Structure 1
Amino acid sequence: MQEDNRIKVALRLDKTKLKEIDQVVKQENLGSRNAFIDEAIEFYMGYLLGSKNKYFPSAISNVIDGALKITEDRISRLLFKNTVELAMALNVIAYNFDIDDETLKKLRQQCVKEVKSTIGRINFEEIRKFQRNVEQ
């Protein structure tokens, strides 16, 4: 027989709480009130102590992983749609304008510089102003 390291302690509970515990014990097939209290204490200790418990952090981790997966899927779909639209626009532009390689190279350099300096926040009005200044 294994040595039991558990100590018997007295515990006072409200009758309503005790009934609720009994319902959960039965519903979750925990076996006993003692098993319920052990689980509850372990869970609450994990809550108080952070990631040192196996229950609480895994619950949070699962929720965060699920939310990140949903967000990742949404962003991926939006990027795909955006890339399709961009490909269409580029094809229309390439079809209608004959731009030499040197001009295209300079334009790419200018665009990389602009996107870096604005952290990707560019707008049509600013580009139009820039193009009008280039024409003059």
Structure 2
Amino acid sequence: MDRAAETAGCKSRSEYLEKAALFYAGYVSGQEATAYLPPALASVLRGTVQDTENRICRLLFKLAVELDMVMNVLAAGMEISDDALRSLRGRCVQNVKKTSGSVTLDKAVEYQRGGV
């Protein structure tokens, strides 16, 4: 216990026991788990999450560029009224909500051909 207390930077056994009890209580309750993870592991987890976030952001940017290109190509070749565009936007918002974003070209073509 003396060696562990020294390693933990405690000045006494009672201080070490207090820290140990607080650590264990936090571990058992599961609150603020990062306080009980080894710093190296917490750092690796933060880095992994940051890398994933950066990758998703880059992919979303590329997707937005492609979508913008498609919309501009369609807008150049189609004549659609403002009312029809507003109506389509509302229908698309509802469709995306209803399908949780799982929208396919097949379903859009079916709808445009008069299907539901």
Query: In the alignment, is residue 77 of structure 1 matched against residue 58 of structure 2?
Result: yes
CA distance in 1, matches of 2:34, 2:78: 64
Letter in 2 for 1:132: R
CA distance in 2, matches of 1:111, 1:88: 19
Letter in 1 for 2:72: N
The one-character-per-residue Cα deviations of 1:71-112 (angstroms, maximum 9, x if unpaired) are 000000000100000000000001000111000000000000
In 1, are the aligned partners of 2:96 and 2:103 still within 8 Å (CA)?
yes
Corresponding position of 2:12: none
Q: TM-score, normalised by structure 2?
A: 0.69
Unaligned 5+ runs, structure 2: 9-15
Q: Let me know the Cα RMSD of the aligned residues.
A: 3.1
Letter in 2 for 1:76: C
Q: TM-score, normalised by structure 1?
A: 0.60
> Size of the alignment, in residue pairs?
98
Runs of 4+ in structure 1 over 6 Å off:
none
Unaligned 5+ runs, structure 1: 1-6, 9-33
Corresponding position of 2:40: 59
Residue 114 of structure 2 aligns to a residue whose secondary structure is helix
Corresponding position of 1:117: 98
Query: In the alignment, is residue 38 of structure 1 matched against residue 7 of structure 2?
Result: yes
Q: State the identity %.
A: 36
Corresponding position of 1:28: none
